[in-house]
Amino acid sequence: MSLILLNSPDSHKMMQKTESSRTCIQNYKNMLLVLTLIVVVIIAVQMYLQGCQCMMQMYKSCDNTNGFSNKSKEIPHNVPGISSKLCADTSKNVEHLIAHTSSRQNRSALPLCPEQPPHLVGKMNIKPTITLQEVTNEESLRNLSYGGRYAPPYCQAREKTAIIIPYRDRKEHIDILVRHLHTVLQRQQLEYGIYVVEMALPTQFNRGLLANAGVRTARGISSYTCYIIHDVDSLMTDDRNLYRCGSQPIHFMTGSTKYKYNGIPYPGFHGGIVGFTPEQYKTVNGFSNLYFGWGSEDDDLGIRVQKSGMIFVRPKEEIGMYVALPHVRDVSNQENPNSYGLVRNVSARQMQDGVETIRFKRFALEYQQLYTWLLIGVKEDVIVKKFQKYLEFPTRG
């Protein structure tokens, strides 16, 4: 019987039908599989991108504005457990940040730190030959939150200081300085963040411009009450030299091993380390951006302060002594031939040439363990173009 059926024309048709419906079901299944795969891939890509975006916000950003188109959020201090830069850790870090933010709100209930920090040691035994091992205090490093930030755990700091270090190619100095600062500034019960602002090659070094870029960046990250512009090779020798700001701009250095501890090199000297409140820095319009190469950007700043009706004040002489780490002149920081002319026309350009008008490209912003690192690039010809007439003054000699 079955043989008859199989061989009949009807049975042939039926077989064809069954065959085609099988193929149809198979195609349908394949389509479903492909669709599912596409959906899974889309979801995975979206999750990955969201994770990376979040990490980018927290750890690194690149822009090419003259300031902060992508303003960073207020980043909380002392977030334990944030260590990785990997996207995979994003959710963990976000949890820490949220958890910390609430504990930070409780901190506003803490008492104000005492006017005189109780654990200062006064004069410290620092030598120009100090080693990394000698300067390292593990405990002070453990207290840090990412980006080299700190806030006293048991009291509210009287000052929130941004230390801004113009930098290029001085690895051995920065490693020593930041360790020294972390130890001392924690004893001073400051809330602080350290910003290392690096100038990308091949441009000649420009200390003033880097200071301005550092201030622009720091103020976009947190509401600091004091900006301290700090040379990478100078170590304070007395922790009573408090890194706080005052009613006038402060020049923290009264002497240095560089000047044989014999006071400052000339009365109007304001090199090394200076401190400004945000209002003071805005009033003087920060540093000039025009000093490419070594020399006189600090003299220009002194004139700005004076022309703005303020004066630089210094600590007591024995407290403001610094140790200078030895170095030779850097290849990309040769003496600036224009500085002689520039310091003679400060007030004519003060309000057009400074922190509020600076243009720079931000290549990187990284919250590293011991400091926040900022890499910027500028075009010297574009910056000086507008001020060409001021550079045409006669040069020295």
Chain residues binding Mn ion by CB under 5 A are 233
> Smallest gap, in angstroms, from Cβ of residue 298 to ligand UDH?
9
Q: Which does 357 bind (CB under 5 to 8 A by kind): ligand UDH, Mn ion, none?
A: none
Contact (CB, 8 A) for 164 and 228: yes
Query: Which residue's CB is nearer to ligand UDH, number 82 or number 253?
Result: 253
Query: Which residue's CB is nearer to ligand UDH, number 180 or number 207?
Result: 207
Query: Which residue's CB is nearer to ligand UDH, number 158 or number 207?
Result: 207
Report the amino acid identity of residue 8. S
From the list 206, 148, 221, the residue with the least C-alpha distance to 360 is 206
Q: Which does 171 bind (CB under 5 to 8 A by kind): ligand UDH, Mn ion, none?
A: none
Query: Which residue's CB is nearer to ligand UDH, number 207 or number 362?
Result: 207
DSSP assignment, residue 394? P
User: Starting from the edge strand earliest in sequence, which strands make up the sheet with 234-236, in order?
Assistant: 234-236, 321-324, 255-256
By beta carbon distance, the residue nearest Mn ion is 233
Query: Which residue's CB is nearer to ligand UDH, number 169 or number 366?
Result: 169
**String of DSSP letters for 274-290:** EEE-HHHHHHHTSS-S-
Helices (H) and strands (E) in the chain, counts: 13, 11
Name the region of 295 (left: φ>0; alpha: ψ -120 to 50; beta: rest). left
Q: Which does 182 bind (CB under 5 to 8 A by kind): Mn ion, ligand UDH, none?
A: none
Burial per residue of 177-196, b for 16 or more beta-carbon CB atoms within 10 angstroms, e otherwise: bbbbbbbbbbbbbbbbbbbb
> Smallest gap, in angstroms, from Cβ of residue 91 to ligand UDH?
38
> Smallest gap, in angstroms, from Cβ of residue 194 to ligand UDH?
13
Kind plus residue range of the DSSP H or E element containing 84: none
Q: Which does 176 bind (CB under 5 to 8 A by kind): Mn ion, ligand UDH, none?
A: none
Q: Which does 382 bind (CB under 5 to 8 A by kind): ligand UDH, Mn ion, none?
A: none
Query: Which residue's CB is nearer to ligand UDH, number 113 or number 194?
Result: 194
Contact (CB, 8 A) for 185 and 159: no
> Smallest gap, in angstroms, from Cβ of residue 143 to ligand UDH?
25
Alpha carbons 134 and 235: distance in angstroms, whole number: 13
Q: Which does 57 bind (CB under 5 to 8 A by kind): ligand UDH, Mn ion, none?
A: none
Residue keyed to tokens 């590293």: 368
Q: Which does 328 bind (CB under 5 to 8 A by kind): Mn ion, ligand UDH, none?
A: ligand UDH
> Smallest gap, in angstroms, from Cβ of residue 237 to Mn ion?
16
> Smallest gap, in angstroms, from Cβ of residue 113 to ligand UDH?
29
Q: Going by C-beta distance under 8 Å and a sequence separation of 6 or more, which residues neighbour residue 56?
A: none
> Smallest gap, in angstroms, from Cβ of residue 295 to ligand UDH?
8
β-pairing, 191-199 with 160-167?
parallel
Query: Which residue's CB is nearer to ligand UDH, number 199 or number 342?
Result: 199
Burial per residue of 29-38, b for 16 or more beta-carbon CB atoms within 10 angstroms, e otherwise: eeeeeeeeee
Residue 125 phi, psi dihedral angles, 5° rounding? -90, 90
**String of DSSP letters for 338-389:** THHHHTTSHHHHTTTSSTTT---EEEEEEE-SS-EEEEEE--HHHHHHTTHH
Hey, how many other C-beta atoms are within 10 angstroms of the C-beta on 89? 16
> Smallest gap, in angstroms, from Cβ of residue 270 to ligand UDH?
12
Residue ranges in contact with ligand UDH by CB under 6 A: 165-170, 205, 207, 231-233, 294, 328-330, 332-333
> Smallest gap, in angstroms, from Cβ of residue 57 to Mn ion?
35
Query: Which residue's CB is nearer to ligand UDH, number 119 or number 329?
Result: 329
Alpha carbons 227 and 245: distance in angstroms, whole number: 8
> Smallest gap, in angstroms, from Cβ of residue 271 to ligand UDH?
7
Q: Which does 318 bind (CB under 5 to 8 A by kind): Mn ion, ligand UDH, none?
A: none
Q: Which does 329 bind (CB under 5 to 8 A by kind): Mn ion, ligand UDH, none?
A: ligand UDH
Q: Which does 330 bind (CB under 5 to 8 A by kind): ligand UDH, Mn ion, none?
A: ligand UDH
